[in-house]
Structure formats: structure tokens, C-alpha cells
Amino acid sequence: MTVEKFDPQQTTTLRVAKEEISKHHNADAPVLTGTEAKIGFVSLGCPKNLVDSERILTQLRTEGYDVVSTYHDSDLVIVNTCGFIDSAVQESLDTIGEALKENGKVIVTGCLGVKEDEIREVHPNVLAITGPHAYETVVEQVHDHLPKPQHNPFQQLIPDHGVKLTPRHYAYLKISEGCNHRCTFCIIPSMRGDLDSRPIGDVLDEAKRLKDAGVQELLVISQDTSAYGVDVKHQTGFWDGMPVKTNMVALCEKLGEMGIWVRLHYVYPYPSVDKVIPLMAEGKILPYLDIPLQHASPRILKLMKRPAAAERTLERIKAWREICPELIIRSTFIVGFPGETEEDFQTLLDFLEEAQLDRVGCFKYSDVEGATANDLPDPVSEEEKQSRFERFMEVQARISAQKLQDKIGLEYQVLIDEVTTEGAVGRCYADAPEIDGKVYLTDEFDVAPGDKIWAQIVHADEHDMWAVKVDDEDDEGEDNAEATM
């Protein structure tokens, strides 16, 4: 998990929950009304929280509850909160307050739920509170305040893959809960507990159901994807009648056989990651790694207690690129961590120049209530943090812009996300949804969300690219397919 993963724009509002459910169900489903049990749902925070929301909504829909899009229409509102950084806590508290004011019956769940006292101090009237991934308890709390509908009009309408809150063509695949690390700036382990890997058979079953439902891209998420299976000693599970080890490499091999895009998020540069790079070079999974490095100075990494702090990251990245030259690396960094000297910061800038990462997010350090880093000496002044942030962004903006310029003239497969009045908008393998750039196909209307087409890049700025569609049969494109997915 990285600080970047809290983005208020990713908030799934009441309206979004209803709309996404309607999209997934509308295709063949008759419009049904009449149930007396209507739920409003607001999901805040990161994709992991969104997956929790999907599970709760799936269960409620299975039991016959309707999901509605306004506070006024709801009999009860569930707020799935985020508590990662202070602004996330505030947004969660504000949202609970809004739901109480507009509706009055509110159940709270999610990361902030572990701080029940803090919530009750501000909002004493919430009906019930739970922490993250407490799906069954939330559903029981709903039963207590809004009895299950007798007649279930939705029984036939729940798709095999359950309720999804992302567009039809991509989905988050959560492989584990919790985290065994104790990064000093992070309170996730205190909210979500230690690593708890899902059985590999369950993960692969879910992936297959999503693929069968039309999903074109799976985004593998967890707090530390490279640690998958450590808690169960990488025990052998079963899928499709065959033994499969509970580890990241085996998971990637199996997902790679499904014939859809597979993108890895929150991976740490451990030696075990070396084994997934050949799968990327062979085109089995996308050559894309989201590695939240957070810093490059060994001293600061130690103060942060970062996983893989002792790894030789630059050497590792170079070796990966030799095996898979098209590998895209996204990362996030924190500047102004307590004790960060000008020398540490320069080490970070030097690292950026040398590592030539493709996509980078940067955050100014701020205290998070309950984090041990709050007690570290030598805080960096706000003025200095801002100055370092600007210097960091200047260096990385130049690198990112050059990386995208280098793609002009090349052909890539583009997954279409939407078609607007100006044309189609999609992404190539280098871009994860929500966090990376987009590929704009101006005046291209003959496509639909979920289509994969070949396109040639004709223009780029430091974040996005513009492209024109090319013929699928084009030989050059076919050759490029090997290298660029």
C-alpha cells in the first residue's frame, strides 16, 4: 500500500454504486422494483476497500436488498471508510455526517471502523461500526436494522462473479488481506492485521469467473503482492484438479494462461520477483510492475522500515530490463520524511536519474495519527518539503515525458475504457486505470468499452498519449504484438 492509494476522486458514491450494478445487470435483466429493503452504499479509499464493498453488496443483493442512488430513497446507508491518512479520515467522518444528516440510519465499516471511539465522539448516532473485511458482520448488522426481504426479486440476477463496482472490462483481484511489515509511516497493519493470503484455488476461481463475465484486465492487488502465500508457507492448493503452490509466481503462471491482461500492483523488489519477469517477456502477463519504493537513501529506508530496504534495487531493475526491455515500472516516493537530509534527498534524485522509472507519484510526508514515524526526530520544515517536492517533480516530469516521446511511432494494443463525443479513450499495457495516463483516439467512434484495438502513437505529453487506430492484420503490428501486448 502507498499513500497514493488514497484518492478522493476514486470515491464510489451512492450514485456510482447504483449505476455500476445497473450496468452489470441491465444487459439481460428485466427491471424489477418493489422490494422494501433499500440500501445506499458509499465506498471510500483504495481499490482494496472497493473489493470489500463489492463483497458486501454481492451478499446483500443475493439476499434481495435493492441498492439505490440517493439518501432519500435509502432505508439505510452503509459507509465503507478509509483511514489511511488524515485527509482520508476527515473525508470518512464528513461522509458519515452527510449520510446521518440526509438519511439518519447509518452503518459504518472499513479501515476507520477500528477507531470506533473516534467515530462515536463525532457521530454518536451511527447504528453500528466494524473494521475492514468484516463482511458477515456488516450483513448481520443490516439484518438487525432492516430485515431481509421475504421475496427476493434479484435472486436470478446476481452474476457468477458477484457485484462489481468497476467497469465491466476490468476488475480488481484481491489476493490477500493485511500485511506483515511495519513501515513506520503506515497504520494499515493495525487496521487490517497481519498477512492473510486467500487460498490459491479461490483466487483462481474468482479470476476465471471474472474472465467468463467479460473482464479483459485483472488488476492483482494486496498490501504486498510479492508476499503472497508467506503466511501459509506457500502450501500447495488445488485448482482445476491440479496442484498449485500458493505463491506469486504460480499465481502469475495460472493467470497468464487465461488470455486476458494481468497487471501486478504493490510488488516489492525481492529476488522472487525475478521469476515473474520471464512471464512478462513471454507475453503471459503485462510487463508492468507497480513497486512502491518510497525512497532511495538506505538511511531513510531504514528509518521507514521498508520491506526490501536492503535489496539492490537498481541492479535488480537493470537485470529485469535485460530480460524484458519493454517492462514499465511505476513507483511512489515520499519526500520530507523526518530526518531526511539534503544528501538523502540528492540520493533520491540520483536514483531517479539512473532508474528512469516510467510512472512516478510523489508525496510530501505528513504525520498519520498512530504511526510510529510521528515520534522520529528532525522533522523537515513544510517549506523544505515543498521545495523538495518541486525539485523531485521537475526531474521526474522530464524523464516521464521523454519515456512517452520515445513511444511515438510505435504500435500498441489499446483497451478502450470509454467513448466520448470527441472519440475513444483507452489505455495500453503501460497504463493502469485511475493512476496512470490514457491513450486518446480522437474521432474514433467505431469501438466500444472493453474492445482491444491496435493503435499507433502519434503524440504524447508528459502524462498521456494520442494515437490512431491501425489495421489488426498489419504485419508490423503483429510483430510488435510480441513486444508490446
* Residues contributing to the annotated binding site for [4Fe-4S] cluster: 46, 82, 111, 179, 183, 186
Distance of CA 323 to the CA centre of its chain: 26
Q: Which residues are annotated as a binding site?
A: 46, 82, 111, 179, 183, 186
Instruction: Please report whether residue 162 would count as binding ligand SF4 according to CB under 6 A.
Output: no
Give me the least distance between CB of 119 and ligand SF4, in Å please: 22
By the 8 A CB rule, do 273 and 289 touch?
A: yes
Q: How far is the CB of 188 from ligand SF4 (least distance, A)?
A: 4
Q: Indicate which single residue of 82, 111, 183, 424 sits in contact with ligand SF4 (rule: CB under 6 A).
A: 183
Using CB under 6 A, which of the segments 175-183, 354-362, 412-420, 424-432 binds ligand SF4?
Answer: 175-183
Q: Which is nearer to ligand SF4, 187 or 324 (CB)?
A: 187
Q: Decide: 468 and 456 in contact? Cβ < 8 Å.
A: yes
- Which residue in 432, 479, 428, 430 sits closest to 453, CA to CA? 428
Residue 181 found at the interface with ligand SF4 (CB under 6 A): yes
- Residue 119 makes contact with ligand SF4 by CB under 6 A: no
CA distance 78 to 95: 10
Examine residue 188 and tell whether it contacts ligand SF4 (CB under 6 A).
yes
Instruction: Among 189, 193, 201, 339, indicate the residue that binds ligand SF4 (CB under 6 A).
Output: 189
Strands (E), 312-393: 328-335, 359-364
Write out the E strands in 17-89: 38-43, 66-67, 76-81
Q: How far is the CB of 386 from ligand SF4 (least distance, A)?
A: 23
Q: Which amino acid is at 295?
A: H
Half-sphere exposure (Cβ direction) of 63: Cα atoms closer than 13 Å:
19
CA distance 463 to 191: 34
Which letter does DSSP use for residue 441 in this model? E
Span from 177-185, 240-248, 257-265, 328-336 in contact with ligand SF4 (CB under 6 A): 177-185
Q: According to the binding rule CB under 6 A, does residue 1 interact with ligand SF4? A: yes
| Region of 14-22, 179-187, 332-340, 366-374 interacting with ligand SF4 (CB under 6 A) | 179-187
Rounded to a whole number of angstroms, the minimum distance from the CB of residue 389 to ligand SF4 is 19
Verify binding: residue 224, ligand SF4, rule CB under 6 A: yes
Q: From the CB of 380, what's the least distance to ligand SF4, in Å?
A: 19
Q: Shortest approach of ligand SF4 to residue 176 CB, angstroms?
A: 11
Q: Which stretch binds ligand SF4 (CB under 6 A): 67-75, 150-158, 174-182, 229-237?
A: 174-182
The torsion region of residue 234 among left (phi > 0), alpha (psi -120 to 50) and beta comes to left
Other CB atoms within 10 A of residue 3 CB: 22
Residue 425 interacts with ligand SF4 (CB under 6 A): yes or no? no
* By the rule CB under 6 A, 263 interacts with ligand SF4: no
* Neighbour-count burial of 446, counting CB atoms closer than 10 A to its CB (0-12 exposed, 13-18 middle, 19+ buried): exposed
End-to-end Cα distance, the chain? 27
Give the H or E element holding residue 452: strand 452-460
Q: What distance in Å separates the CA atoms of residue 54 and residue 17, rounded to the nearest whole number?
A: 9
Instruction: Tell me how far, at minimum, the Cβ of 230 lies from ligand SF4, in Å.
Output: 12
- Chain positions contacting ligand SF4, by CB under 6 A: 1, 179, 181-183, 186, 188-189, 223-224, 307
